[in-house]
Amino acid sequence: MRLDDQPGYVLHARPWRETSLLVEVLTQEHGRVGLLARGVQGPKKQALRAALQPLQSIRFDAVLAGELAQLRRAESQDAAPRLHGHAMLAAFYVNELVLRLAPRHDPLPELHHAYGEIRRRLGEAGGLAWSLRRFERDLLEALGFGFDWAHAADGQPIDPAARYRLDPQEGPLRLLSERNAGERRGLATGTALLALAEDRLPAAADLASLRLQMRAVLLHHLGGRGLKSWEMLGDLARGNG
């Protein structure tokens, strides 16, 4: 099958043999696609190598035969955002998350759009934590794992004053007992869940309450095997993140 003039975002690229690259791309029409880019070394291939770097927006031609597609052409559509520090680690996290969760050759236009949005936000000044929580929300929705963030698992409206545990399959479960202060601190606030539902930036403390609960949901869908980027990110939600 031919893939002609396909828009995509480069997620990962690694050397293959002496002169080639294995590239993972998130496309709008075909989901995650693995590309074999042959003969990309040498001064005449500099523009092609630049187009195949992570975060790059490209248009490409390829021929899909089996698991991998043979790359025929790739051109950059813009300049990938220049990221440093926490923003660079956040981009590594986003790419790793998509690589692990997005199936190959399964059209996911909503995920393609969400990736374009997080790519833009990472290149702008602003809080990384909120950008990441929004992307995690949109990723889960695109993959069919999303929640109704405005309602608990029992159908009741989210209470801004309550705390909730995010069950990967049922959704938000309200904490019924207020006795265990330690457990309460590890749960998401109702205000934070409503902020996700309304796409509205919450206060810092409410935003911070989402991180561990979102990570638990993602870990479930990752089959219990965590991400390398989690180790690198550490407590990104604190400080600038």
> What pLDDT sits at residue 183?
66
Domain ranges within the chain, ordered by starting residue: 2-76, 85-233
> What pLDDT sits at residue 231?
83
Tens-digit pLDDT profile for residues 92-138: 999 999 999 999 999 999 999 999 999 999 988 778 999 999 999 99
Identify the CATH number of the domain defined by range 2-76: 2.40.50.140
- Taking alpha carbons only, the member of 66, 41, 146 closest to residue 101 is 146
Prediction pTM value: 0.91
If you average pLDDT over every residue of the chain, what do you get?
91
Q: Residue 5 above 90 pLDDT? A: yes
What is residue 163's three-state secondary structure?
strand
Which parts of the chain fold into alpha helices (H)? 46-51, 85-101, 109-122, 128-142, 181-185, 190-198, 204-208, 210-221, 228-233
Tens-digit pLDDT profile for residues 138-176: 999 999 999 999 999 999 999 999 999 999 999 999 998
C-alpha angle 135/13/104, rounded to 5°? 60
C-alpha angle 51/107/102, rounded to 5°? 75
CATH 1.20.1440.120 is right for the domain spanning 85-233: yes
Q: What gap in Å lies between CA 241 and CA 233, rounded to an integer?
A: 9
